[in-house]
A = this chain, B = another copy of it.
Amino acid sequence: MTVKITVLKEQDEGGERRVALIPQVVERLSSLGVSFAMENGAGVASSYPDETYKDVTLSTDRKALLSDADIVLAVQPPTIETVQAMKPGAILVSFIYGRNHPDLVKALRDQKVTCFAMELVPRISRAQAMDALSSQATLAGYYAVLLGSVHMTKILPMMTTAVGSLRAAQVLVMGLGVAGLQALATAKRLGAVTEGYDVRPETREEAQSLGAKFVDTGVDATGKGGYARELTDEEKQTVRKAISDHIARADLIVTTAAVPGKKAPRLIDAEQIKAMKPGSVIIDLGAEGGGNCEGTQAGQIVQVGPTTIVGPINVPSMLALQASELYSKNIMHLLQQILTKDGQIQLDFTDEVISGTALTHDGYITNEGIRTAVDPN
């Protein structure tokens, strides 16, 4: 039997513009003999009009598409109604963030859906091509600097004019994960003087290789899975002291700190903002998780003393065309682990990537951490 892969139009209220399947990936997977179906207009917001999808059945009947699908692909966590319209035993590949959506996880379990949650892809080298968190964070880091630059009252590069030179702007990036490093690279490209900061000292070399100065605070908070662990109060004070001058000097700050499953850590407080330059700008990529800065409001642009704080949400969606391209390819690599060469589904739960990414399967919440959080009994 031919496996049917279906992608629906995103229904997120936040205006999700990405799509989980792009025409190029349809083409790449078609040799497996699977078939594709799509809800009309699913790719429009990410600049992939319906006519660009070859060999994909288009339909406006969302329910029929769902009940017919062996594999459903999505970007944002689907609604519970969407899950309940799926075939028992079918596969869902999507971002889920189970801790934030316990009812959705239970619905996936009860519907006997095998759910692969893209945020759970293990951070091991073999799974890099499936790592959607990284692919999307790269784009977010790039975008953060450009977003900052249009809110600044000065330019990033040094510029020589007939009437004298304009100085290059000072850019400070706090949190040097994938997004932070890309922010440093982009600011450097634009000619800014860049500084990077992270509680994980091993990021020093990465920052320096991008032409940035590394702000050394003397605190080491290396944690698990590429993320930093939470700091103690004493460590926080040490860091604060070391970083305050750099914050005060910056024209643009990009903050990108996240601790998995927790509120975004506070990197900049109100007193530090007071000491900033007039016209300075903070782009807080931690806005969705509560913000890395005191005063950040998710989805808003606020003026706090001398500083404009921008708290963008769902930044990858702004670059929907290429964010979809990368996300769709991340999914493609996962599907290649799930589908045999003749296009049949074969799930190998002894495989670290399959078992690590699986959230629910056959009526169980297979991810232990989330099972404990969602259903403690």
Contact = CB atoms under 8 A, between A and B. Distances in A.
Interface in A131-163: 131, 134-135, 138-139, 142-143, 146-147, 149-150, 152-155, 157, 159, 161-163
A374 interface: no
A277 interface: yes
Contact of A322 (B17, B146, B154, B330): B154
Given A129-B163, A135-B162, A279-B321, A153 B329 contact: no
A278 interface: yes
Given A52-B278, A146-B149, 6 more contacts: A17-B153, A47-B153, A150-B150, A152-B319, A154-B319, A279-B321
- Per DSSP, chain A at the interface is helix
17 contacts: A46-B153, A47-B154, A48-B278, A128-B162, A138-B159, A142-B155, A142-B159, A152-B319, A153-B318, A154-B322, A163-B326, A164-B326, A166-B325, A189-B189, A189-B190, A190-B190, A278-B321
A161 B326 contact: yes
A174 interface: no
A320 interface: yes
Q: Give the number of copies in the complex.
A: 2
A260 interface: no
Interface in A1-31: 17
A191 interface: yes
A49 interface: yes
A87 interface: no
Q: How large is the interface on A (under 10, 10 to 19, 20 to 34, 35 or more residues)?
A: 35 or more
Contacts of A139: 155
Interface string A163-176: 11010000000000
Contact of A155 (B191, B306, B322): B322
Contacts of A204: none
Interface in A306-341: 306, 318-322, 325-326, 329-330, 333
- 9 smallest CB-CB distances across A and B, nearest first, come from A47-B279, A153-B321, A47-B278, A128-B162, A163-B329, A154-B322, A154-B321, A153-B320, A146-B149
Contacts of A155: 139, 142-143, 319, 322
Residue of A17, A147, A155 contacting most chain B CB atoms (<10 Å): A155
Contacts of A306: 47
Nearest to A333: B163
User: Which one of A163, A190, A321 has the greatest number of beta carbons of chain B within 10 Å?
Assistant: A163
A17 B303 CA distance: 15
A166 B138 CA distance: 12
A317 to B, nearest CB: 9
A233 to B, nearest CB: 35
